[in-house]
Amino acid sequence: MSHQSLHAWVEDVAALTRPNKIHWCDGSEQEYQQMVQELLNDGALIELNQDSHPNCYLHRSDPQDVARVEHLTFVCTNNKADAGPNNNWMDPKEAHALMDDLYAGCMEGRTLYVVPYCMGPVESPYSRLGVEITDSPYVVANMRVMTRMGQAARDKIEAGAPFVKGLHSIGELDPERRYIMHFPEELTINSFGSGYGGNALLGKKCHALRIASWQARQEGWLAEHMLIVGVESPEGEVHYIAAAFPSACGKTNLAMLVPPEEYKGWKIWTVGDDICWMHPGPDGRLWAVNPEAGYFGVAPGTSEKTNPNAMAMLQRDAIFTNVAVTSDQQPWWEGMQDGTPATDWRGRDFDAENGKASHPNARFTVSAKQCPSYTEKADEAQGVPISAILFGGRRAGLVPLVMEAKDWAHGVLLGATMASETTAAATGQVGVVRRDPMAMKPFCGYHYGDYWAHWLSFADKVPNLPKVFQVNWFRKDGDGNFMWPGFGDNLRVLEWVIQRCKGEAEVVSTPVGLVPKADGVNLTGLEMNQEQLKSLITIDQSGWQHEFSEIKTYLDGFSPRLPASMANLAENIEQQLSS
Ligand code: SAT
Ligand code: MN
């Protein structure tokens, strides 16, 4: 793509959508303030208390537009099989015709914004460029926080660098006229009818995961739904860990955890909270960059107790979406501990009869640099070396607190067989267990069978691969109480993980993985004894037998592209469980 084609594309889109005005975004502070002013003038943003929260604003979504819409999200490949059973598919010609119909005249009376952006540090060889055309100034403001947006990206594109073309219009916010379409072979995204995060901020899930995962397979790297966190020991040794969890399962909290009191001298460095691009480095390790520049995190449940770093970064320069407000216009959400809501997320006087004050998927948008645990490594071109990869989900039972894979191929199986209870991050039922391989079910832009084969191929290409672990902070006891304190105390598990990466700490080998010894995880200072820990790490043989019979059926759904070695490994583990 060249300079010519960027301008030609913008002209084509303008001819189709017929905006009143075209604005090329430069990403400056002045432009951001201008955008905020326009949004305040037309009521799309509401000023929050500027004494307690300078430069903080609230956006209230249309009540029918508050989450990702997986059933309206499509991967449009020429060959249907390439999209895989894990994606909705539409023929690209049909999809383009449908979208062009929706786009015809959709920007009449509106401004068309051209948003050039870079995913990843601007000078990194791993970064990728994109341009989002949108008619939503709310999207522009959010893209400025979430990506490296503006002139630098535009300059590279005009100098001839390839870029992903994203076209977005909020349309009429009608759920019946809403689609999120991906054309990986054309490096193109079309989104219509939603202004919500993952549906509308096209740099995020659409580009950095669905399109990027497709490119990563072709080019030999990995685009993953993972946080990246650095753990520094009192001796000053830093290990970086990448961890995949489904949406709204605590990635942001883990990425910026505050060590428990007993962990004097330990430091946590936040590189990313949602997306991780990993490349084989010259030293035979995997090196990771966070393609994003900001956090679009879940507000409810965030508090001084669960995530003090997030609370600190949300004191200024943040956009809140669908939170409640107090009588003095401070943002408020369930689980915040302090304050009382006066107005709910829909702008009504708060009445507990109407349900929650904030929407369960209420979000904040904030620059990564505002996080007290931000590290400049997040802006380094080569990224950070990854010592360990964690796969985690929300499972009330069965899956132990932590379990190590026996080797890379087993680690890939652990990722591929993850399951988690659904959350409010996507529309649909909440709390049902569904398989969510690598936490990529909604985001993998191609056939899961090919994706796992791609993961497996790293064993031959990368000599010093990270160790792989499965974790579960969400086990519940018979009374429905969480058995593990989670949050800052998850460092106890990370410490064990790091010991294992260094070849320390003993394990107990079970058919499903390697678990810690009963005294393996440091419980000092916790109201928990080794017996209780034991119940968190014990492998329930018959429960796992049942799990593996389901896993096999699930994996079978991806044949004939399911890697044979993976099917054999699952079979082998099932046999060990039954003998
Ligand atoms: O809405 S987003 O897709 O950006 C957040 C999430 O669901 O992980
Ligand atoms: Mn996410």
Q: Indicate the domain borders of the chain.
A: 2-45+72-220, 223-293+376-556, 295-370
Tell me which of 56, 106, 249, 444 is the catalytic residue: 249
Partners of 426 in the β-ladder: 68
Task: Give the per-residue pLDDT at 2.
Answer: 52
Torsion-angle region of 48 (φ positive above 0: left; ψ -120 to 50: alpha; else: beta): beta
- For 377, which DSSP code? G
Going 427 to 432 to 434 to 440, the CA torsion angle's sign is positive
Task: Give the per-residue pLDDT at 489.
Answer: 98
Report which protein residue has its CA nearest ligand 1's atom 6: 247
Which segments in the chain show pLDDT lower than 70?
A: 1-4
Unique residue bearing structure tokens 């109201």: 527
The response to whether residue 296 sits with its C-beta less than 6 Å from ligand 1 reads yes
Indicate yes or no: pTM above 0.85.
yes
Domain 2-45+72-220 has CATH 3.30.450.30: no
Strands 57-59 and 46-47: antiparallel
Ligand 1, atom nearest to 296 Cα: 4
Report which protein residue has its CA nearest ligand 1's atom 8: 247
Task: Give the per-residue pLDDT at 579.
Answer: 87
Q: What are phi and psi of 314, to 5 degrees?
A: -95, 15
Q: Who's near 286: CB < 8 A, 6+ residues apart?
A: 222, 278, 279, 280, 385, 386, 458, 462, 465, 466
Partners of 227 in the β-ladder: 243
Tell me the per-residue pLDDT of 90-144, one tens digit each, with 9 for 90 and over: 999 999 999 999 999 999 999 999 999 999 999 999 999 999 999 999 999 999 9
Torsion of CA 406, 411, 416, 422, to 10 degrees: 100
Task: Give the per-residue pLDDT at 1.
Answer: 46
Active site residue 76: no
User: CA-CA distance, 150 to 147, in Å (whole number)?
Assistant: 9
Torsion of CA 154, 160, 166, 171, to 10 degrees: 60
Q: Who's near 345: CB < 8 A, 6+ residues apart?
A: 60, 322, 323, 324, 356, 357, 358, 359, 362
The response to whether residue 246 sits with its C-beta less than 6 Å from ligand 1 reads no
Task: Give the per-residue pLDDT at 34.
Answer: 95
CB 343 within 8 A of CB 333: no
Note whether 223-293+376-556 and 295-370 share their fold: no
Ligand 1, atom nearest to 298 Cα: 5
Domain spanning 295-370: CATH superfamily: Phosphoenolpyruvate Carboxykinase, domain 2 (2.170.8.10)
Domain 223-293+376-556 has CATH 3.30.2290.10: no
Task: Give the per-residue pLDDT at 211.
Answer: 99
Instruction: Report the residue among 69, 191, 205, 298 best suited for mutation to probe ligand 1: largest number of ligand atoms under 8 A from its CB.
Output: 205
